[in-house]
Amino acid sequence: MRRTASPFSLVLLGLGTFLLVLAPLFAWYVKPRAAVNPVDIDTTAVYTGRGSVFDLEKVETVPDQRITITQRVRGNVAESERSGNAVWDITTSVDTDKSLPAADPHDALSFTPHRWVLDRRTTKPVRCCDAKPRIEGEAYLKFPFDVQKRSYQWWDNTLRDTVVMRYRGTEKVQGYTGYRFTASVPPTRSGTRMVPGSLVGQPGRSQVLAEEWYSNHGVELVVDQRTGRVVYARTSPRQTLRAPGGQKDAAVLLDAEKGVAFTEETQKEAVRQAKRDSGQLELVGETLPIGSAVAGFVLAVIGGALVIRGRKITEDSDASGSPHPTLTR
């Protein structure tokens, strides 16, 4: 019976080849299917800070008030499964201490419900499922996966348009490093509102269709590179009223000049989720492919060397004329 290679060498060679084939599958097949936006999301982000707020009872703007912005995001699983996209229902409320805790969110200084439908892989807006408003741009509540060191078009829901978020380097949040982006918004007309004429300097008119103006002293976001999750956010909105065709602000509704930012609790939870999700993507996108490639190469080299060595021994035996064992009965 002639034997050229041991079963052990063939097993090593086969296992090494299998791991070499498996390595790119992790990077090119498994990771893209792991890097998807969830449909069952249920998160709450809370911002706090101080600023000026219009008091309806006093009918004047009151300075140095504590402002709390609460943003809740819930995934609509049924709509998501039907459409194949991520359908997220969002509520954003702006409160002062007078309206907290809120028995009814509609008692807040401002309460805005809306829906964002996004592609699960690219995070780009999708037109379906009664999405309102018509969200544009590359990012809104989160950035796309694998964030790049460049500017992004970020949707500002108060402005109802996109703003350019510019990359400003890296920053640590709760000890976790992310990419920092900043932007600002110049005064822009954002809508109209029916108000008493006296509120906008026209006391002779009982009701006036005043112009709503919005600006932002500065928006700052710190984003996890792999997942695009926002781990820190600070915004400094200013909302005012002007008389129809007016060139100056007649009333200040909200002015958080010093900014409202993620609370420490919100930061910690965002960082926890970013670490978890980023770690999973790193595992299937880097650790497993590299580990499989290295282990596969080593095993394939060892197995191949043993196979070649076995064949060489057989060839040397053939050349020396030594008899081979035979089967006898």
Domain coordinates of the chain in residue numbers? 35-262
What is the Cα–Cα distance from 37 to 216, expressed in whole angstroms?
28
Burial state string for 251-279 with b = 16 or more CB within 10 A and e = fewer than 16: bbbbbbeebbbbeeebbebbbeebbebbe
Chunked in runs of 10, what are the mean pLDDT values of the chain (329 residues)?
Answer: 58 58 55 77 96 88 94 96 95 89 71 94 93 93 96 96 97 97 96 92 91 97 97 97 94 94 97 91 65 60 64 56 47
What is the Cα–Cα distance from 251 to 274, expressed in whole angstroms?
41
Query: Which pLDDT score, from 0 to 100, does residue 327 have?
Result: 44
DSSP 141: S
Burial state string for 186-199 with b = 16 or more CB within 10 A and e = fewer than 16: eeeebeeeebeeeb
What is the Cα–Cα distance from 115 to 120, expressed in whole angstroms?
15
Alpha helical stretches, state H, 26-125: 31-34, 77-83
Query: Which pLDDT score, from 0 to 100, does residue 281 have?
Result: 79
Query: Which pLDDT score, from 0 to 100, does residue 270 have?
Result: 97
Query: Which pLDDT score, from 0 to 100, does residue 98 have?
Result: 84
Contact 237/256 with Cβ under 8 angstroms? yes
Query: Which pLDDT score, from 0 to 100, does residue 316 have?
Result: 55
State the residue for tokens 């544009």. Answer: 136
Which neighbouring-strand residues pair with 110? 94
Phi first, then psi: what are they for 315, rounded to 5°? -65, -40
Q: Which residues does 237 contact at the CB level (< 8 Å), separation at least 6? A: 158, 214, 215, 216, 217, 254, 255, 256
Query: Which pLDDT score, from 0 to 100, does residue 109 have?
Result: 80
Query: Which pLDDT score, from 0 to 100, does residue 225 have?
Result: 97
Query: Which pLDDT score, from 0 to 100, does residue 329 have?
Result: 39
